[in-house]
Amino acid sequence: ALGAPLSKDMAACLFAAVSSDTGNFNYSNTTAETFEAAAACVRAGADVDEITGRIYRTRTEARTRLLGLSLAGLQREGKVAWARVTNDMFHNAGALRCDTERIVNYLIEIEGVEIAVLAIEQEDGCSAKFSLRSLAPYNVARDVALPLGGGGHERAAGITIHRPLREALDLVLARVREIL
């Protein structure tokens, strides 16, 4: 759009953005144009292996420990799976808040699960942040996040609820049960 030539550095950044926004070309927002844009980035020098390796195949030990702690406590009720990340888990894993990214994806990938909920206790202990994922026909943004003050996309949404983790999780799960 700028008419500027696509440098190798620009191509790498753009490829990383396109790859991550499409779940590494797995989500429904992936179109022929998406692949054409990615191809242009590769032609300009974007290193697919390096970029996808850093985004999808590398994590810190602390992030891995936090993933294990949260998944060890996963719960399931029919088409719904949920897990928690508590302040104690962050402390025990030596993890950062950003280390919760993508944990919810492990839940939605469970066979038979159509709605996934990750509840993250906030540092104050008085609020919780939620990451939601769904498969069609469920719209977690419209039917779960928006009514509770959050937002997002049809299949990926989020909410922050100013209540302790257990209370907030009960509220979100009640909303999820209503749409099932």
pLDDT tens column, 101-148: 999 999 999 999 999 999 999 999 999 999 999 999 999 999 999 999
Look at the pTM and tell me if it is higher than 0.85: yes
DSSP label at residue 79: T
Distance separating alpha carbons of residues 141 and 26, to the nearest angstrom: 19
Name the burial class of residue 59, with classes exposed (0-12), middle (13-18) and buried (19+) by CB atoms within 10 angstroms of its CB: middle
pLDDT tens column, 149-175: 999 999 999 999 999 999 999 999 999
Specify the pLDDT at position 1.
Answer: 72
